[in-house]
Each structure stands twice: as structure tokens, then as C-alpha cells.
A and B are shown apart, each in its own frame.
Chain A
Amino acid sequence: ETGVTQTPRHLVMGMTNKKSLKCEQHLGHNAMYWYKQSAKKPLELMFVYNFKEQTENNSVPSRFSPECPNSSHLFLHLHTLQPEDSALYLCASSPEPHNEQFFGPGTRLTVL
């Protein structure tokens, strides 16, 4: 398997559910990222991890909780989300910070 993979590809959840998004990169990169893409808005950076250490939390609400157990895996834990959190969530990785990033296919999240 190559590149950046994300599971699930589609997720529908209620506001009281708890779910997790998974990202895995097979590129040997050291930095991983979560982005949110909403309709008619630019991609928004959510979290950055470099060598498993979180280096940026871009004022994201606490109902989103990231986890990076190793440099190949990145999770986004979701709980008590709001309908406005419905969006495409993209994971990306790069060899090191500031290089070009390689993106996964995204998870389409719908919060009912």
C-alpha cells in the first residue's frame, strides 16, 4: 500500500456519538497534519504533528482530539460534534515541516 490512506471514507454520526478518524502514511514522513474542508471556505489547518509531537493546535474546539502514536499514524477523535462540523477532513504528511504535503483521500463527515 502506498501514499496516505484514510478510514473511513464516509461517516455519519449523531451529535452524541463518539467516533475516530484514522490516517496512515507509508511514505516515511515525519510530519502529519489534519485539515478541515468546508463548502465555500479555504482549507483550514487543524493540527500539526512533527516527530509525534503536536506543534500546532489551530484554535480547534476540544470536541476534536488528535492522537499521534507514531510517525506513521494519526487519529482524530470526535465527540459531541455539532452539525456545522460536517465537512471533508483531510490528512496529509510531509518529509519534514515546510515541504510539500501529500494528502489522503479524505473522510466525508456528516453530523446529524
Chain B
Amino acid sequence: AQTVTQSQPEMSVQEAETVTLSCTYDTSESDYYLFWYKQPPSRQMILVIRQEAYKQQNATENRFSVNFQKAAKSFSLKISDSQLGDAAMYFCAYSRLKGGADGLTFGKGTHLIIQP
């Protein structure tokens, strides 16, 4: 079974600074998707960024980028120029690429605090 581990329950960063959230995962599959989701106090889960395991290039979405290390099974999220609106729970998630509709496997989340 796949597992996703987020080892940082909470992180704090000054506004306008850069922060990196860690995620590791375990799978025997060679092809899969990885995601970062954001859950603000409203509890609405919002997709931040997606990475296909067969792509070597790291995904980027504006101020959000990932460092995908397939051999190490590591998938960290970097947030540049942190803004107050970035404060939220961040969840790393894994999805199989083939087979039945298994849904997403989530980590326990990292609570990101932005200090003004």
C-alpha cells in the first residue's frame, strides 16, 4: 500500500520569505501522480500543483514550485515570496496512474503560518 509522510506538523515563515514543505512517499509503482493541496480555514481543498512521475522537469505554478526526487521518493513544495493568504494546511497526496479508481492517499498535513 502507498503511504505519504509529511514530517513537519507546523512551519512558520515571515511574509515575503521563502519556505519549503517536505513530503516523502512510498510506492512500488513506477508511474504515478503527486499533488500538493492547500486547505485554508474555510476548509475548501484547493489544488496547488501537480507532478507526473514520468516527467523529470519539476512543476511550477507562479510562486509555487516542487523539487521532485523520484529515486529518493521525495516531493517538496517551495513557496516563494510568501503572502498572508498562503496561511493554510498543506497536504501532499499520491495517486496511482493505472488500475482501479483508488482515490488519493494523503499525508497528515503541514500547518503553514505566515508572520507579518
Contact = CB atoms under 8 A, between A and B. Distances in A.
A92 B37 CA distance: 13
Contact of A43 (B46, B102, B106): B106
A10 to B, nearest CB: 11
Contacts of B45: 90, 92, 103
A84 interface: no
A76 interface: no
Nearest to B108: A42
Interface residues of B, number: 26
B42 A41 contact: no
Given A42-B109, A45-B103, A48-B102, A98 B97 contact: yes
A106 interface: yes
B101 A98 contact: yes
A48 B101 contact: yes
B101 A35 contact: no
A88 B100 CA distance: 25
A111 B106 CA distance: 25
Contacts of B37: 103
B50 A100 contact: yes
Contacts of A31: 101
A108 B43 CA distance: 10
Nearest to B97: A98
Interface of B: 4, 33, 35, 37, 42-47, 50, 91, 95-98, 100-109
Top-3 shortest CB links A-B: A97-B101, A103-B45, A45-B103
14 contacts: A33-B103, A42-B106, A43-B104, A48-B101, A56-B101, A58-B103, A98-B98, A98-B102, A100-B33, A100-B35, A100-B50, A102-B47, A105-B42, A108-B43
